[in-house]
């Protein structure tokens, strides 16, 4: 029985195979008599509900069956003729489209049996895909354009595809496939636009098999267009999708400066008025709209009491009625922080972070910027905090177990200083020298003070005088302060019965101390070494500094800024002041106009001769004065007196020797119509002078006083050594900014070093404030390494020849005997001290500070600030002193010629060791040149 059953099963299979033309699963089978399919020659693949015509080469009868050999046949045969038939695929409803793998295809076998010989047949397999082509896009793709005026953020995930005008972008669309399976539909695919247009600048770029398409390019302009994207597969099946292509304008450009933290006086529990910090926006189409991009709760996270002047939405209470006016291009943070901001952790509040949303007036979609502001509220510190001793480490050369070094040990010796500024009655100049003992004590010194009320020559008393080195840098709201050893303060008691307090920032170690090759003096001072008793001691002392008077809290005292220089006692005699000197002096006349002079003189054995100078008294010029003479006498303490006559002008001076190459000078005559109050420096010069004295590039700063206020510039001049020059000047005229490309010619007096500049050719210009220079004649071997001694890199003194009476400095930038380097950020890394070059009016803010920079940002900053102008702070009580202010980090730029920005809202120029920069904030109506030195 089992054998018979097996035989019947085998017979059934043979018959079945004969009926299905050889059990073929694809293609066709040709009979022995030549029956065959002529079209198509192989099994076709079609989509759901599509049809295909089949033909054979002789009359047949048609049948069809399920391609699997089992089950009911799918689809149907129509239009049958003896030699052709149409197969119609079943409808798969709905067509499959999604992210998972498509279902397997269906199959139908169409059989053609010869009418002449029923034993002959041929078959062909038709494959029916169950997943038609479809366009798969992100779920957030818009199909209609957002309404005109909609603010669309560059980071928006609500609208896709989102492009930005002028920025290359890429948006990928596929037909439903993924990396885990083949695409839906039948490859290859073609893509087209069934309707509409892509934004100008965008194109369709399909992949090789068309399974994906990139919409890419750089859109030319903002706007929105709806285009219907269509995909067609190899069977002719199509799918389409309308897509709204949104192009937003380029982002607005926002300058956020390195703004200060805010403070509360914990002794009175009252906030310190915040000096407004300007945030400038440009680009797009004015006017701009400002708003807080508020937290989910609707309240901006910002210190209570501080406000954004231009905000129109989510405005905190108390910020609307008294908000200062602002243009739509400038918003600023202002106000007075509340004591409630302070927390329990380090008695500090914050950090508070608020995001601003600034949009312009473009249509259909505004350009947007989203700057972040982070602020921390700190307790107001004392003006002279003490610093802990410096501990030995592998960085500072100290020996473990050999003890720490007191911070005060790094200020030891005799130091000369110059402070220029104003009191309630007019200009003030203070020059002097002070002897520090390395232990916080002052053993003596001398001081000359000249003001409108008269002049004093005073002795500095050790009793009541002292100094303290070490400030603080708040590294974070929760991390607490860290010591900054190149910051300090000094109180000088004098024989006139008064005392004066100064704050200062220091640098330029006498031992040229570095850490890892970078000049880094704020955390380890000037390093350590062992003394003869096996103890760590200071390896060097600070040699240069920026200093401000820091004791006027009423606006009736003196406010000014200047320099501090380590003195070389070997120059304390008449023989120490000998040879040719160039000099520059500046200040004010009795009418409140700016007074500037520059010149040169020969010094020998107490006599001044062959003096030459140019004087600009608020626009009244005394040009090319020659034949001047005078006398001088230098005492054993480094203080001297001098008289110098230049044409009709006679100056009585007090001198303080820094070295044989540098002296500080101030006039000692009471202010009158014939005697201005001026002060400055004299620096050793070397002649004879010729065109080759000026070669390659030099940087400069100048400043004067115009009708609207201080007018200052920084820039670079390139000399060819043959009489031609080019350059760039960046000007700030009481917050009105300008940039000028300079070009012209120069010539000089071989004996005096007087150099004139002119622009004789059409389109040549010397900028808004032409000037005359008196050169020092630097050696051809001068490099930027010498600039650690500031006077060594001064290449000339400048004096203006127009009504603003400009004065300034020409300084080394690139070596004479080598090509200028392309400057870059690597020139800036390290620590800097900084302060005003000259305060040009009584409302100028005086600062001294210390900052650190890496190759990307100004990463830390601490400064003492003397706000001397109530209108600048926009509050009546802004005549305040802020010790140890800390600031947010800020980026900087360095162009190949050394120009750039030393933080946002600044213009700067550098030689790698020194930076001249201007705070170009639109709120700074009383600018001054700031000098930063390493």
CA distance 314 to 103: 54
The pairing of beta strand 906-910 with beta strand 899-901: antiparallel
pLDDT in tens, 465-516: 999 998 776 654 345 567 789 999 999 999 999 999 999 999 999 999 988 8
Closest CA to 867 of 887, 851, 883: 883
Report the helix count and the strand count for the chain, using DSSP H and E. Answer: 2, 61
How much is the pLDDT for 443?
A: 97
DSSP element (H, E) containing 528: strand 528-530
For residue 415, how many C-alpha atoms fall within 13 Å in the half-sphere facing its CB?
Answer: 27
Q: What is the layout of strands, in order, in the sheet containing 106-114?
A: 45-47, 121-129, 106-114, 60-66
Phi/psi at 528 (5° precision): -130, 160
Q: Which residues pair with 509 in a beta bridge?
A: 542
Mapped onto helix, strand or coil, the DSSP state of residue 213 is strand
DSSP state of 902: S
Between 311 and 72, residue with greater pLDDT: 72
Say what the pLDDT of residue 679 is: 98
Listed range (89-98, 316-325, 559-568, 802-811) with the worst mean pLDDT: 316-325
Rounded to whole angstroms, the Cα distance separating 58 from 86 reads: 16
pLDDT digits (tens, 9 = 90+) for 362-376: 999 999 998 888 888
Rounded Cα distance between 316 and 336, Å, is 13
Tell me what the mean pLDDT of segment 86-111 comes to. Answer: 79
Cα–Cα distance, 861 to 487 (Å, whole number):
11
Query: In this predicted structure, what is the pLDDT of residue 225?
Result: 93
DSSP-assigned letters across all residues of 595-648: EEEEEEEEEETTEEEEEEEEEEETTEEEEEEEEEEEEEEE-TTSEEEEEEEETT
Q: Is the pLDDT of residue 530 over 70?
A: yes
Q: Is the peptide bond before 488 cis (omega within 30 degrees of 0)?
A: no
Question: In the prediction, which pLDDT does 298 show?
Answer: 52
Per-residue CA distances from 446 to 429, 493, 662, 664, 868 (Å): 14, 10, 18, 13, 27
pLDDT in tens, 237-248: 888 999 999 999
* Residue from 278, 290, 310 nearest 368 by CA: 290
The answer to whether residue 321 scores a pLDDT higher than 60 is: no
Asked if residue 669 has pLDDT above 90, the reply is yes
Q: Please give the helix or strand (H or E) that residue 408 lies within, else none.
A: none
C-alpha torsion angle, residues 639, 645, 649, 652 (rounded to 10) = 20
pLDDT band at 300 (very low <50, low <70, confident <90, very high): low
pLDDT at 6 over 50: no
- More reliable by pLDDT, 261 or 724: 724
The confidence score (pLDDT) of residue 350 equals 74
432 confidence band (pLDDT: 50, 70, 90): very high
According to DSSP, the residues that pair with 428 across neighbouring strands are: 421, 451
pLDDT at 720 > cutoff 60: yes
Are 507 and 544 in contact, with CB atoms under 8 Å apart?
A: yes
Pick the closest to residue 349 from 358, 341, 337 (CA basis): 341
HEC sequence for 707-768: CCEEEEEEEEEEEECCCEEEEEEEEEECCEEEEEEEEEEEEECCCCCEEEEECCCCCCECCC
- Neighbour count for residue 298 (Cβ, 10 Å): 9
Query: Whole-angstrom Cα distance, residue 402 to residue 410?
Result: 17
């Amino acid at each position: 029985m089992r054998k018979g059953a097996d035989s019947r099963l085998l017979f059934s299979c043979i018959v079945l195979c004969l009926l299905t033309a050889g059990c073929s699963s694809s293609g066709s089978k040709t009979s022995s008599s030549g029956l065959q399919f002529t079209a198509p020659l192989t099994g076709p693949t079609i989509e759901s509900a599509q049809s295909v015509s089949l033909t054979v080469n002789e009359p047949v009868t048609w049948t069809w069956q399920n391609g699997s050999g089992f089950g009911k046949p799918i689809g149907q045969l129509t239009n049958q003729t003896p030699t052709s038939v149409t197969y119609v695929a079943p409808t798969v409803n709905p067509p499959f489209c999604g992210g998972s793998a498509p279902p397997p295809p269906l199959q139908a076998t169409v059989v053609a049996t010869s009418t002449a010989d029923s034993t002959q047949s041929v078959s062909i397999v038709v494959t029916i895909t169950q997943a038609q082509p479809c366009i798969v896009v992100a779920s957030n793709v818009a199909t209609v354009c957002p309404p005109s005026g909609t603010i669309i953020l560059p980071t928006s995930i609500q609208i896709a595809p989102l492009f930005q005008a002028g920025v290359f972008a890429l948006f990928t669309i596929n037909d439903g496939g993924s990396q885990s399976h083949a695409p839906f539909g039948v490859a290859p695919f073609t893509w087209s636009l069934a309707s509409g247009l892509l934004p100008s600048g965008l194109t369709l770029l399909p992949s090789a098999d068309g399974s994906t398409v990139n919409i890419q390019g750089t859109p030319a302009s903002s706007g929105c267009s709806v285009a219907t994207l269509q995909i067609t597969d190899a069977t002719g099946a199509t799918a389409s999708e309308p897509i709204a292509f949104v192009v937003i304008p380029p982002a607005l450009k926002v300058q956020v400066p390195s703004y200060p933290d805010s403070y509360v006086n914990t002794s009175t529990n009252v906030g310190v008025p915040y000096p407004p910090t300007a945030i400038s926006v440009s680009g797009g189409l004015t006017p701009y709209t400002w708003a807080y991009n508020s937290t989910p709760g609707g309240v901006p996270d910002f210190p209570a009491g501080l406000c954004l002047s231009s905000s129109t939405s989510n405005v905190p209470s108390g910020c609307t009625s008294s908000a200062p006016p602002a243009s739509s291009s400038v918003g600023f943070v202002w106000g007075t922080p509340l004591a409630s901001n302070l927390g329990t952790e380090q008695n500090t509040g914050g950090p508070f972070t608020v995001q601003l949303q600034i949009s312009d007036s473009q249509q259909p979609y505004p350009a947007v910027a989203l700057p972040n502001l982070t602020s921390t509220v700190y307790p107001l510190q004392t003006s002279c905090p003490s610093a802990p001793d410096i501990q030995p480490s592998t960085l500072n050369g100290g020996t473990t177990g050999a003890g720490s070094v007191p911070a005060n040990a790094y200020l030891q010796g005799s130091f000369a200083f110059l402070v220029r500024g104003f009191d309630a009655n007019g200009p003030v100049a203070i020059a002097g020298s002070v002897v520090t003992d390395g232990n916080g004590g002052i053993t003596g010194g001398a001081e000359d003070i000249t003001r409108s009320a008269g002049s004093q020559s005073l002795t500095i008393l050790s009793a009541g005088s002292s100094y303290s080195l070490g400030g603080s840098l708040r590294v974070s709201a929760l991390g607490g302060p860290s010591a900054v050893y190149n910051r300090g303060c000094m109180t000088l008691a004098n024989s006139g019965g008064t005392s004066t307090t100064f704050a200062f920032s220091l640098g330029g170690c006498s031992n040229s101390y570095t850490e890892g090759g970078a000049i880094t003096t704020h955390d380890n001072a000037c390093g350590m070494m062992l003394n003869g008793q096996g103890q760590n001691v200071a390896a060097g002392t600070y040699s240069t500094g920026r200093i401000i008077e820091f004791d006027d809290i009423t606006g009736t005292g003196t406010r000014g800024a200047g320099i501090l220089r380590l003195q070389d006692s070997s120059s304390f005699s008449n023989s120490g002041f000998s040879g040719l000197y160039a000099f520059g002096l500046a200040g004010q006349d009795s009418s409140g106009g700016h007074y500037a002079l520059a010149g040169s003189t020969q010094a020998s054995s107490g006599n001044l001769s062959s003096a030459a100078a140019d004087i600009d008294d608020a626009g009244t010029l005394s040009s090319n004065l020659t034949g001047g003479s005078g006398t001088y006498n230098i005492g054993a303490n480094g203080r001297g007196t001098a008289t110098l006559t230049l044409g009709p002008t006679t100056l009585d001076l007090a001198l303080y020797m820094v070295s044989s190459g540098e002296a500080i000078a101030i006039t000692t005559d009471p202010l009158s119509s014939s005697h201005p109050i001026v002060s400055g420096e004299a620096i050793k010069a070397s002649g004879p002078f010729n065109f080759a004295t000026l070669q390659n590039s030099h940087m400069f700063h100048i400043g004067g006083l115009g009708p609207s206020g201080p007018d200052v510039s920084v820039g670079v001049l390139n000399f060819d050594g043959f009489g031609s020059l080019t350059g760039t000047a960046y000007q700030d005229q009481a917050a009105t900014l300008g940039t000028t490309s300079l070009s012209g010619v120069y010539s000089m007096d071989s004996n005096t070093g007087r150099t004139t500049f002119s622009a004789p050719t059409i389109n040549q210009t010397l900028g808004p404030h032409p000037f005359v220079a008196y050169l020092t004649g630097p050696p051809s071997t001068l490099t930027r390494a010498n600039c650690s001694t500031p006077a060594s890199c001064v290449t000339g003194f400048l004096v203006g020849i127009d009504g603003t009476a400009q004065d300034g400095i020409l300084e080394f930038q690139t070596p004479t005997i080598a090509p200028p380097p392309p400057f870059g950020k690597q020139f800036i890394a390290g620590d800097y001290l900084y302060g005003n070059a000259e305060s040009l009016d009584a409302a100028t803010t005086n600062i001294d500070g210390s900052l650190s920079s890496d190759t990307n940002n100004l990463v830390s900053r601490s400064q003492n600030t003397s706000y001397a102008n109530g209108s600048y702070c926009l509050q009546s009580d802004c005549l305040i002193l802020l010790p140890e202010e800390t600031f947010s980090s800020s980026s900087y730029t360095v162009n190949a010629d050394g120009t750039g920005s030393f933080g946002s809202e600044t213009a700067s120029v550098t030689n790698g060791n020194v930076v001249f920069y201007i705070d170009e904030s639109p709120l700074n109506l009383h600018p001054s040149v700031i000098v930063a030195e390493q």
